[in-house]
Structure 1
Amino acid sequence: MINIKKILVSSAFTISAMAFGQGTFASSNYPQSYENQNSNKDVVSADKLLSAKELVDIKLNSMMNDPVLRNANWGFVVYDPKTMKVISSYNENTSLVPASTTKLLTTETAMNLLGEQFRWITQLEYSGSINEDGVLDGNLYIVGSGDPSLGTNKGGAYTYREIVSDFISAISKKGINKVNGDIIIQTAVFKANKTQTLPENVVWLENGNYYLPVGTTYEINPENEKLIAKKGNPFSANKNFYYISPYIGQMVYADKFEGKYLTTKLPDAPAYLANSLRATLLKSAIPVTGKVVTKMTDIEPEKREVITNYQSPTLAEIVFYTNQHSDNALAEATLRMVGFQKFGDQTLESGRKAVMDHLQKVAFETQGLNYYDGSGLSRSNVVTPISQVKFLSHLMNEKYYRTFFNSLPIGGQTGTLKKTFSNVGNGQIFAKTGTLNKVKTLAGYMKTNSGKTLVFSLLINNYAGSVDQVKSRMEQILEPALSL
């Protein structure tokens, strides 16, 4: 914890001595510009005599009374991974909402348990036999594995058109020119079409046309989810609550919630891919007599042979896209795959258990942690700044550290940090961002001016003012740390 009193007393003596020695006592008879000019010289001279750590601590102290942060709940730690010591901190053990810095835990766990080269595989298979005329007397099967990037172009994933083109090419090479059967969708991961309740306090009312993780708000009480609108209803003297559909992006003012629950589907079976395949086969003069059928489970499966398969980008590429773009859908699907690989179950609960087991294995300080979802959308997630920096420091010893490090946005250059740290810190901050209403967070690594790598966590909740104002304060807090 910073010793502000000691630093300020020492600084006061330093500045007083300088002023006495140089004869710079200001008088109210001097012009204002003259007083400011001399005052600035003193500050610059004092800065030269203060250590980088003292400057960091002084900046933290000044931020405690800043209008944007004065009434906020916030914490900060800058940590040296070599000495394993805290350099400077404020509220380091306070549990705070981490927003999308939660993805650090999700993506790192996935890389640890699945490996950098892990891929989701979608197979095209057939049952029955192919006669000499090229007629398949049997069914085509599309067997999915819950690939969250399927058809999206994310991380280098193929579009549906590209996948269908490859599938049709493989069907032709197999000598099939007619399918006398159905196209059956099946998945090895999602054995049942379960719809799960979204985490409590998920910000489904906060982000217009922003996508949700999978699940439903059916059992969530809207009274616990309401948020005060930034701008009041001009036709009402009282503050009202607003509710936004994540899809239509329309705001509605109300004294109580009268809308319906929202549901998003699991990425269980690639139905769109199957229907696109059937339609394109027909256009390519390869008749399909049957229809698209979904089979989540098959008690007596037909004997089948593989025609071809489509492989997703590697997990390393998926993690890169997830962290650069803060993609909630990819993070949530990755969490479920971790749960499936560890426990054979794709539920949110299995994913959470897999992550928590991993964190305990790597000695993560779970006191003060509540890991509630994979993306950080839920306000029920909390973490302490000190646990984040120790986790990121431990990660530096893992064989996949360089891949993980490269997935983080770079200040002033890439991803969600492209428009932050444009001047000071440009190319020196490598971190995951997090943003919710009145929550702004940043956690990762910094390359100091002397070439050292330090780890930091800066979590700010319930700040005043705008997002741009709090981002400016975050830059000011980190700026002196670059000289450590």
Structure 2
Amino acid sequence: MVNFRKYISSVAVLASGLFLAQSTVSTVLYSQAYDNQKTSLNLPSPITSMVEKTILSPKELVDINVNTMMSDPVLKNASWGFVVYDPKTKKVISSYNENTPLVPASTTKLLTTETALNLLGENYRWMTQLEYSGSIDENGVLNGNLYIVGSGDPSLGTNKAGAWSYRDIVADFTSGISREGIKKVNGDIIIQTALFKGNIAVLPENVVWLENNNYYLPVGTTREINPANEKLLVKKGTGFSAEKKYFYVSPYMNQMVYADRYDGEGVLTTKLPDAPAYLANTFRTTLVKSGIAVTGKVTPKMTDTTPESRKMISAYKSPTLGDIIYYTNQHSDNSLAEALLKTVGFQRLGDQTSESGRMVVTNHLKQASFDLSGLSYMDGSGLSRSNTVTPISQVKFLTSLMDQKYYKTYLTSLPVGGQSGTLKRMFIGEGNGQIFAKTGTLNKVKTLAGYMKTNSGRTLVFSLMVNNYSGSVDMVKKRMEKLLEPALDL
């Protein structure tokens, strides 16, 4: 920390001589009047700021801001930590509680997305293939089955990151059927994928399903039912009303999940839970409507000990992993982050569960010399309040990535202050276009971690995590901006 008495005295003397005894002490040190100010920062005037910058270095101003925040009415009873780190010298420039484990919220995605980039490569794509077994006779009748073979594409049918819609994929598959001369399918449409047999197995500990009226995770699998507008009954006596947010226990997974809306009379409507099933059912409906009869049904077949000989009709490629990670971090997309967690688990351990994903991510971090002290990695998205990480481990991790070949892709995926993603409405003035960071937000949790391009052209790494604050999230965001502002002059 800075010797505050020395520098405050210098500022006060100069200010009193130049500006009719205008003191700056109250702008940087705690006062009783400041404690009573609940809704905004006691920001210094432009004249005071000019005097401070004349006397104090940027580092000293950062340290003074840290001291101010310690007694700020919004933060003084909060648990929070902060680090600004120089990746060239490998030294901490300024810090507060840098070794304290804190809830990181969606900055957890920094670990998940980097692990996927490292293990799979930025050009990795998921494939969803249409195949058929059996033979096609002279009348165009396929005496065999159609197979939709998935690979766990998290963007399937979502339009996210440039992914095709279900309609586009179905149109492509239907064109493939026509190219093969198939006019009737005397068999089933079989969904075959070894991944994600159920979107939810065991929920992460202390997971947040609903915050600030926003839903976060996808629901469980629909298995053999048509998932279009799936409806589930609610047990009587639950006390649901149209103003509340709703949860139910999935009859397919026996896990608590959320519903999209309450339709009245004990009926809940969920979000689309099973992309391959929805694709297959839509495909079958489209074929029948276009005059291509399908005698069988849509059915899942997760494992096949005696696979039929098959021929590929068409293959849909997902956007690249780099594109999907860009979308995930820009929009803080929880569904994609959880899917990435399962993907790395499957690719390394052959198991599609979140537990395997967590094991793979943790092992990767250990091999990358991540400081595991204070780390609790419970999910891929940051929704669990049991996640913890220290500010110093975040900045050292981010620093280590600057030497990776995929660093540019990783950096580009992060929201930019004042310009893009979840940072578009922060750093609109100072720091506009200079802060590249992942945000995190849960109730009474606000976090920010990433990179900073200073006015002198340096790249610094920082982490700022605030837990259990008072006031509104906007008040915390203003204090974050204020704390980081002088660091731009380093």
Which of the residues 370, 376, 384 maps onto 1:370?
Answer: 376
Residue number in structure 2 paired with 1:10:
6
User: Which structure 2 residues correspond to residues 312-331 of structure 1 after superposition, within 5 A?
Assistant: 312-331=318-337
**Residue aligned with 2:181, SS:** coil
State the shift of 1:19 in Å. Answer: 5.5
State the shift of 1:208 in Å. Answer: 2.9
Which of the residues 89, 92, 95 maps onto 1:86?
Answer: 92
Cα gap change, 1:467 to 1:150, in 2 (>3 Å): same
Q: Deviations over 1:301-344 (max 9, x none)?
A: 21111111111111001100000000000000110000000000
5+ residue gaps, structure 1, are: 28-37, 217-241, 251-258
Cα gap change, 1:93 to 1:264, in 2 (>3 Å): farther
Q: Are the equivalent residues in 2 in contact too, given 1:208–1:249 (CA < 8 A)? A: no
User: Which structure 2 residues correspond to residues 340-351 of structure 1 after superposition, within 5 A?
Assistant: 340-351=346-357
Cα gap change, 1:323 to 1:25, in 2 (>3 Å): closer
CA distance in 2, matches of 1:125, 1:312: 17
Cα gap change, 1:350 to 1:81, in 2 (>3 Å): same
State the shift of 1:168 in Å. Answer: 0.7
Residue number in structure 2 paired with 1:228:
none
Q: Deviations over 1:66-114 (max 9, x none)?
A: 1111111000001111111100001000000000000000000000001
CA distance in 1, matches of 2:261, 2:63: 43
User: Which structure 2 residues correspond to residues 371-450 of structure 1 after superposition, within 5 A?
Assistant: 371-450=377-456
CA distance in 2, matches of 1:175, 1:43: 76
Which of the residues 143, 153, 165 maps onto 2:171?
Answer: 165
For 1:335, the aligned partner's letter is L
Cα gap change, 1:399 to 1:214, in 2 (>3 Å): farther
Residue number in structure 1 paired with 2:250:
none
Residue number in structure 2 paired with 1:247:
259
Q: Deviations over 1:245-265 (max 9, x none)?
A: 443578xxxxxxxx9xx9999
User: Which structure 2 residues correspond to residues 46-57 of structure 1 after superposition, within 5 A?
Assistant: 46-57=52-63
TM-score when scaled to structure 2? 0.84
Q: Are the equivalent residues in 1 in contact too, given 2:145–2:186 (CA < 8 A)? A: yes
Residue number in structure 1 paired with 2:239:
none
CA distance in 1, matches of 2:460, 2:54: 22
Q: Are the equivalent residues in 2 in contact too, given 1:412–1:420 (CA < 8 A)? A: yes
For 1:331, the aligned partner's letter is A
CA distance in 2, matches of 1:186, 1:382: 37
Cα gap change, 1:344 to 1:41, in 2 (>3 Å): closer
Pair 1:311 & 2:311 matched: no
TM-score when scaled to structure 1? 0.85
State the shift of 1:266 in Å. Answer: 7.0
State the shift of 1:45 in Å. Answer: 2.3
**Residue aligned with 2:117, SS:** helix
Cα gap change, 1:39 to 1:101, in 2 (>3 Å): closer
For 1:291, the aligned partner's letter is K
State the shift of 1:422 in Å. Answer: 1.0
For 1:87, the aligned partner's letter is I
Cα gap change, 1:200 to 1:170, in 2 (>3 Å): same
State the shift of 1:142 in Å. Answer: 0.4
Which of the residues 174, 190, 209 maps onto 1:204?
Answer: 209
CA distance in 2, matches of 1:23, 1:158: 64
**Residue aligned with 1:270, SS:** helix
Q: Are the equivalent residues in 1 in contact too, given 2:150–2:193 (CA < 8 A)? A: yes
**Residue aligned with 2:446, SS:** strand
Which of the residues 108, 118, 121 maps onto 1:102?
Answer: 108
Cα gap change, 1:247 to 1:39, in 2 (>3 Å): closer
**Residue aligned with 1:472, SS:** helix
Cα gap change, 1:133 to 1:370, in 2 (>3 Å): same
Q: Deviations over 1:149-202 (max 9, x none)?
A: 110000000000000000011111112121111111111324x54842211211
Cα gap change, 1:19 to 1:339, in 2 (>3 Å): closer
Residue number in structure 2 paired with 1:31:
none
Q: Are the equivalent residues in 2 in contact too, given 1:332–1:375 (CA < 8 A)? A: yes
CA RMSD for the aligned pairs?
A: 2.6
State the shift of 1:467 in Å. Answer: 1.0
State the shift of 1:58 in Å. Answer: 0.5
Residue number in structure 2 paired with 1:187:
193
Q: Are the equivalent residues in 1 in contact too, given 2:440–2:447 (CA < 8 A)? A: yes
5+ residue gaps, structure 2, are: 24-43, 222-243, 248-257
State the shift of 1:26 in Å. Answer: 6.9
For 2:123, the aligned partner's letter is Q
**Residue aligned with 1:176, SS:** coil
